[in-house]
């Protein structure tokens, strides 16, 4: 099976061209290829597939085999792969995801290769029923208290097609993400589990983020998480609508437009291509 290894701000996946390859059990394959010692090594598996409603379709599988609805860093790499490998020739691409059809704008460099990608991430979902979070379905969760282990957190919940729980902290670099990420991810509030963002406010236009991803663990970047953080910062009166988000793997430029759409701009990098021999 041919594959490409790509990353967006350090959030790395194994990408398989479903126009050429057939993957019969993507959950099992993701568990194998994601292993950083016995596989290729990645934050999961992304399939690039034909679509009847868009230029192409992406499916994302976590290292534990669970399927995610959407990946902001992943969709940038899907768009780069599609352009650079001749699947789509235009600089604007529509991609079908578990969060709906999203529009992606490409910046093509001198060598005809895509370097940066802007994604219209769509409108955030803010009610318990949409995210989902247990409780009254029309209620929003903005700065609500939640007791986890020995701490009381103030959480803001947002869906960008997948669920996020955003928590603002004083010093994110020293925060014990590995301690609090798992119990927050699997808290009874979240019937589908949740991604968790721990965020430090540097200024109204700048934040620093670490992410505990559902089904994966801590990753170097999370695009849907950065989108959720952008929305949560505004809802809590902490940030402006346009911010620079520093993640461990790189920076993302974020903006929550007045029409409700969230725009994300960041890098997409192909590291190498190879052939995987399933065992």
Catalytic residue set: 71, 222
B/e letters for 43-65, b = 16+ CB within 10 Å, e = fewer, are bbbbbbbeeeebbbbbbbbbbeb
Residue 105 vs residues 14, 115, 121, 192: alpha-carbon distances, Å? 22, 11, 11, 31
CA dist., res. 62 & res. 58, Å (int) = 13
Residue 44 vs residues 62, 83, 216: alpha-carbon distances, Å:
5, 22, 8
Residue 124's alpha-carbon distances to 19, 67, 132, in angstroms, are 31, 20, 12
């Amino acid at each position: 099976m041919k594959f490409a290894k790509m990353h967006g701000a350090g959030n790395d996946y194994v990408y398989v061209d479903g126009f050429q390859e057939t993957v019969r059990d993507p959950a099992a394959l993701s568990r194998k290829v994601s292993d950083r010692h016995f596989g290729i090594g990645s934050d999961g598996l992304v399939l690039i597939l034909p679509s009847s409603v868009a230029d192409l379709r992406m499916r994302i599988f976590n290292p534990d085999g669970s399927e995610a609805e959407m990946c902001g860093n992943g969709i940038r790499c899907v768009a780069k792969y599609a352009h650079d490998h001749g699947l789509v020739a235009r600089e604007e691409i529509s991609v079908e995801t578990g969060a709906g059809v999203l529009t992606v704008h490409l910046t093509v460099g001198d060598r005809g290769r895509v370097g940066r990608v802007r994604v219209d991430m769509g409108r955030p979902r803010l009610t318990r029923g949409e995210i989902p979070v247990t409780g009254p379905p029309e209620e929003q969760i903005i700065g609500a208290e939640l007791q986890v282990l020995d701490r009381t957190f103030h959480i803001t919940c947002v869906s960008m097609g997948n669920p996020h729980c955003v928590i603002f902290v004083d010093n994110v670099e020293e925060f014990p993400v590995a301690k609090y990420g798992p119990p927050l991810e699997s808290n009874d509030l979240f019937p589908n589990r949740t991604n968790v963002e721990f965020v430090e406010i540097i200024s109204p236009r700048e934040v620093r983020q670490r992410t505990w991803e559902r089904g994966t663990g801590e990753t170097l970047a999370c695009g849907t998480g950065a989108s959720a953080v952008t929305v949560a910062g505004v809802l809590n009166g902490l940030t402006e609508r346009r911010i620079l988000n520093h993640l461990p793997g790189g920076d993302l430029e974020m903006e929550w437009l007045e029409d409700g759409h969230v725009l994300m701009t960041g890098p997409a990098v192909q590291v190498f291509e190879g052939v995987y021999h399933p065992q």
